[in-house]
């Protein structure tokens, strides 16, 4: 199979998350992702998009979120790009440490890492890319 690429662009609006979930599950089904991985994909994707809207674009509806999905025979790569300035990965507290267990936030990256095969960040001059990789097989 040649690489297939799908795009979606939205304003920073969390009410659009259900439609985005339908979009990403549709792409995953077409790609042949095993149904057992759909929930993992949905949860990690929704968390990543929420982080981009809330933390990256600061809930600014004038800022956009761009989603690019690349699929080949072996993997699905999802790139979620916001227009934020980025963050220091080293400053994110470990949510599994006792002092962080009762905090109401701060688990998003940990959750995403738990459900995808690889998680990367690319900080660019015009925004932050969150890159989720799922192996199809």
Query: In this predicted model, what pLDDT tens digit does every residue of 55-71 receive, in sequence order?
Result: 999 999 999 999 999 99
Query: Long-range contacts: 33-38, Cβ < 8 Å, 24+?
Result: 33/76, 33/134, 33/136, 34/136, 37/134
Question: Could you tell me which of 121, 119, 97 has the C-alpha nearest to residue 44?
Answer: 119
Asked whether the predicted pLDDT for residue 99 surpasses 70, the reply is no
Question: Could you tell me which of 44, 20, 22 has the C-alpha nearest to residue 114?
Answer: 44
Instruction: Return the CATH number at 112.
Output: 3.30.565.10
Name the domain count of the chain.
Answer: 1
List the domain range (segments joined by +) for residue 105.
4-135
Q: How many CB atoms lie within 10 A of CB 11?
A: 13
Q: Tell me what pLDDT residue 103 has.
A: 59
From CA 54, how far away is CA 11, in angstroms rounded?
Answer: 12
Percent of the chain clearing pLDDT 70 (strictly above): 84
**CA–centroid distance for 45 within its chain:** 4
Q: Determine if the pTM surpasses 0.75.
A: yes
């Amino acid at each position: 199979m040649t690489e297939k690429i799908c795009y979606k662009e939205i304003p920073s609006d969390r009410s659009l998350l259900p439609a985005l979930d339908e979009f990403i599950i549709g792409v995953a089904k077409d790609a042949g992702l095993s149904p057992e991985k759909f929930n993992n994909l949905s949860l990690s994707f929704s968390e990543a998009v929420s982080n981009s809207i809330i933390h990256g674009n600061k809930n600014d509806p004038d800022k956009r979120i761009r989603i690019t999905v690349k699929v080949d025979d072996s993997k699905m790569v999802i790139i979620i790009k916001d227009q934020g300035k980025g963050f220091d990965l080293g400053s994110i507290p470990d949510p599994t440490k006792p002092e962080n267990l009762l905090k109401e936030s701060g688990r998003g990256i940990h959750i995403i890492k738990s459900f995808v095969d690889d998680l990367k960040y690319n900080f660019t001059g015009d925004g932050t890319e969150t890159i989720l990789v799922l192996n199809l097989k």
